[in-house]
Amino acid sequence: MVQSTTARRLEASGPGAEKRRREILGAASRLFRARGLHATGMREIAAALGMTAGNLYYYFPSKQDLLAYCQEETLGQLLDLARGGASGPRRTPDQRLRDLIEGHVTVLNEATPGSLAHLEVNEVAAARRASLLARRRSYETAIRRLIDAGVAAGTFRPVDSRLATLALLGALNWTVKWFQPDGRKSATEVGREFADLLLRGLLSGAPKHARAAGSPAAAAKRHERPGATSFNGSLSKRERGGSNGA
C-alpha cells in the first residue's frame, strides 16, 4: 500500500524520526566511504535503505541538508565535550585535553554516523554555513584556552596555542578519511593512542606517571589486540592487496 503524502510527513516528524535520520546518516556514511562524498547522490542513499527518493526527501530535502544536519550533530557533541562533559573543573589541563582528544575521535568515527561530511563545510548552503562556522570557531577557541591554561600552569611547554590547536584539529579531523569501522582498532582505541602521541608534543617536564602512561610501550600494551600489527587495520588491507584508503 502506498503511503499518502500526509502519512509520510507525519512519519518524518514523529517520535521515530530522529532514529530514522541516524539510520540515513549511517547508510550515507557507508556510501561516502565506498564511493566518495561527491559521487554519492540522494537516490543512492535511498536505494541503500530500501526507500524511494521521495521518502528520503521528507527527512532531508536535499543532500546539503543532510550534510548540514550531520555537521550540526557532530559539533553539538564536540562542544559538549569542550564545555566540560565528563571532565570536572578540578582536572588538570592535560587531563582535560586528553579527554577532548579521545572524545573527538570517538564522536567523529563512532558516535555520529556520516561524519565524513564533517570536513565538507563548504558544501553546506550559505544560510546554514555561517552558524556552523561560528560553532567551529567556538570549539577552536575552547581548545586554545585549554592549551593556554596548560602553558600558564607549567603543564605544557610555551607554544603558539593557535598553531597547536590547528595542528591538533588537523590530525583529529583527518581520521574520518582513513578510519575503518571494521579495522583492528576501535575509534576509542585510536583516540587514546592519538592522545598519547599528541600530548607528548605539548607536555613540559611531564611527571613520571604521565611519561609512563604516554610512552609508546605503555600505549602498545594497553591497546594491542592479539595478532594486531597495524594502525586501525590499514596493514590488513595491504595484506589483502588493497590500499589503506588514506
The half-sphere exposure of 84 on its side-chain side, counting CA atoms within 13 A, is 3
Q: For residue 192, count other CB atoms closer than 10 A to its CB.
A: 20
The pLDDT value recorded for residue 114 is 65
All domains of the chain in start order, with CATH? 1-61 (1.10.10.60), 63-235 (1.10.357.10)
The pLDDT value recorded for residue 48 is 92
The pLDDT value recorded for residue 99 is 93
Q: Are 184 and 236 in contact (CB under 8 A)?
A: yes
DSSP letters spanning 126-140: HHHHHHHHHHHHHHH
Residue written as grid cell 585549554: 146
**pTM for the whole thing?**
0.73
The pLDDT value recorded for residue 211 is 44
Residue 89: which residues within 8 A CB-CB, separation 6 or more? none
In order along its 246 residues, the chain shows pLDDT tens digits of 445 555 444 445 555 788 888 889 888 888 888 888 888 899 999 999 999 988 998 899 998 898 888 888 889 999 999 987 545 566 889 999 999 999 999 999 888 766 777 788 888 888 889 999 999 999 999 999 999 999 999 999 999 999 999 999 999 999 988 888 888 999 999 999 999 999 999 998 755 444 444 444 444 444 444 443 333 443 334 333 333 333
With the CA atoms of 14, 19, 25 and 29 taken in that order, what torsion angle do they form, in degrees rounded to the nearest 10? -160
